[in-house]
Amino acid sequence: MRAIICERIGAVDDLVVGDLPMPEPGAGEVRVRVHAASLNFPDLLMPQGKYQYSGEPPFAPGMEAAGVVEKLGDGVAGVQIGQRVAVHPWIGCFAEHVVAPVDWLFPLPDAMDFETAAAFCLTYGTIHHALKDRGRLQSGETLLVLGASGGTGLATVEAGKAWGARVIAAASSDEKLAACKARGADDLVNYAEGDELRHQIKALTDGKGADVIFDSVGGAYSHQAIRSINWGGRMLVIGFAAGDIAQLPANHILIKQIELIGVAYQGFSRRFPDRCKANIAAMMDLWSAGALRPHIGGTYDLENGIDAFRAMRDRRAVGKLVIRMD
């Protein structure tokens, strides 16, 4: 089968498009004929050996995909050959076929196309776990989203609005912020401009700061963000797209009674697959009601799919990037 292949741990430019053996589903697994798969930031890190785990080369990266069930492993019940599904097996999705455990298989609404589905489950599953389970976001609270035009960022803007928050979107260019506005952001902050992020947030919140901060960027941005949080605020540690892991000051956490909250969607979905499925079903309902619409910022064929990796690496991506296999 055709696939994007990491032949050796190295750089994004070392990825190739080639052939891998057809994977066979084991017990409790299904094989899916992939129609589309979307990029997540760890897909960049894994081939560079910078993620928490990696495949053994040669392997296909790709955490989430959508397609049609084509083969069942032993012991699989309640799944039909031909069923339209999304899966997030965390690896192997940038290929014409992928094997996934049934714990991470999500039936699709009839109206959801494969590109949307490929960009949905991992991303919105993360957001549900972050904002609701971990962040306890309430209607009327102020939510600050860093990296707000990225894949998880734009989805967080949408979900925050759907759940009644006032959303402040922070990103590095006016073009990226326009995408956030189009997804419903109430206020926009360009953090590449001179005025420090914390001053801009304070000005927008009568000096109080944000109640909940979604931080998928890290580094210096985290330091500024924690200085722009409200008393009793919750800061969600999502990721470190900027590369640096911030060492945040404990005195700020004490003085404002801040909660610094880790979010590990993969660990959550491994430990609590039923809760993960319930969260994604809730997000599918919001999609069916028209409240969520993943922004597909670029679509690539498998044969030129490595360009999607380069776009994300070079900070050019807006929303989700999708690679089509058919």
Ligand X SMILES: NC(=O)c1ccc[n+]([C@@H]2O[C@H](COP(=O)([O-])OP(=O)(O)OC[C@H]3O[C@@H](n4cnc5c(N)ncnc54)[C@H](OP(=O)(O)O)[C@@H]3O)[C@@H](O)[C@H]2O)c1
* Contacts to ligand X by CB under 6 A: 40-42, 126, 147, 149-153, 171-172, 176, 216-217, 238-243, 263-265, 312, 315, 317
Angstrom distance (rounded) from CA 65 to CA 93: 6
Tell me whether residue 252 or residue 315 sits nearer to ligand X (CB atom).
315
Tell me whether residue 69 or residue 148 sits nearer to ligand X (CB atom).
148
What is the nearest approach in angstroms of ligand X to the Cβ of residue 319? 8
The amino acid that residue 77 corresponds to is: A
Tell me whether residue 6 or residue 177 sits nearer to ligand X (CB atom).
177
Phi and psi angles of residue 163, each rounded to the nearest 5 degrees, phi first: -95, 10
Other beta carbons within 10 angstroms of residue 23's beta carbon come to: 19
Tell me whether residue 83 or residue 173 sits nearer to ligand X (CB atom).
173
Phi and psi angles of residue 39, each rounded to the nearest 5 degrees, phi first: -85, 145
Other beta carbons within 10 angstroms of residue 115's beta carbon come to: 20
As a three-state string, the secondary structure of 276-287 is HHHHHHHHHHHH
What is the nearest approach in angstroms of ligand X to the Cβ of residue 153? 6
What is the nearest approach in angstroms of ligand X to the Cβ of residue 73? 27
What is the nearest approach in angstroms of ligand X to the Cβ of residue 254? 25
Find the residue with minimal CB distance to ligand X: 150
Tell me whether residue 23 or residue 305 sits nearer to ligand X (CB atom).
305
Environment class of 207 (CB within 10 Å of its CB; exposed 0-12, middle 13-18, buried 19+)? exposed
The amino acid that residue 173 corresponds to is: S
What is the nearest approach in angstroms of ligand X to the Cβ of residue 94? 15
